[in-house]
Amino acid sequence: MDRQPTLAGERVRLRPLRHGDYDALYAVACDPAIWAQHPARDRHRPEVFRPFFLEAMDSGGALLACDARSGEVIGSSRYHGHDPVRREVEIGWSFLARRCWGGATNGEMKRLMLAHAFRYVDSVVFFVGPDNLRSQRAVEKIGGLFAGTSPDADGLPRRVYRIRRG
């Protein structure tokens, strides 16, 4: 599976994240409201965001989200944990500038990523923190079905959503 494709829609363009994108992406991520419901509520701080960014770079699946019209950086997302045997991949670590909340931007970004993923897998999973109601609603809005809970790397619970190719 190509985990760093270039994908384009009417509102969003996704491309592989590059080291040179740090400043533009941090300019979006420095908004504390983006992380208010997230388990890493302090990710707006540079000393917390930098390791997150470097991990994204090392993941081999991170995508930069840009406004399709202006080219302005509006956020990021990534593919993770592709399992060719189970024919499954995760989409996660997504965030968007507040001006993109509540409209069609997130839905288009996820539909582009889902369409690409379903060329290779039968199922896409999303892991969402139990207090992140905004992300839970966003995943449900694109068709995600609650599939239970699963601990994260630190043993903390997270909600699991799944979308199957159909």
For the segment 15-47, what is each residue's pLDDT rounded down to a tens digit? 999 999 999 999 999 999 999 998 889 999 999
Q: 67 lies in a domain?
A: yes
In a domain, 112, yes or no: yes
**149, part of any domain:** no
- Predicted confidence band of residue 113 (pLDDT cuts 50, 70, 90): very high
Task: Give the Cα separation of 31 and 18 in Å (integer).
Answer: 21
Three-state SS for 89?
strand
Please answer whether residues 138 and 101 qualify as being in contact, where contact means their C-beta atoms are separated by less than 8 angstroms: no
Q: Summarize the chain as % helix, strand, coil (round to 5).
A: 35, 35, 35
pTM: predicted TM-score of the whole model, two decimal places: 0.96
DSSP strand pairing (123-128 vs 157-164):
antiparallel
| Residue 71: inside a domain | yes
Q: Which CATH number does the domain housing residue 25 bear? A: 3.40.630.30
Asked whether residue 46 is domain-assigned, the answer is yes
Model confidence band, residue 152 (pLDDT cutoffs 50, 70, 90): confident
To the nearest whole percent, how much of the chain has pLDDT over 90?
92
Residues 6+ apart with CB under 8 A from 81: 88, 89, 90
Model confidence at 99: pLDDT above 90: yes
* Residues recorded for the chain: 166
Mean pLDDT of 89-105: 95
Average pLDDT, the chain: 96
Dump strand ranges (E) for the chain: 7-8, 12-16, 62-67, 73-83, 88-96, 123-128, 145-151, 157-164
**CA 76/CA 27 separation, integer angstroms:** 12
Instruction: Print the domain residue range for 29.
Output: 7-124
How many domains does the chain divide into? 1
Whether 10 contacts 68, CB under 8 Å: yes
Q: Is residue 140 part of a domain?
A: no
* 99 is a domain residue: yes
Is residue 29 in some structural domain?
Answer: yes
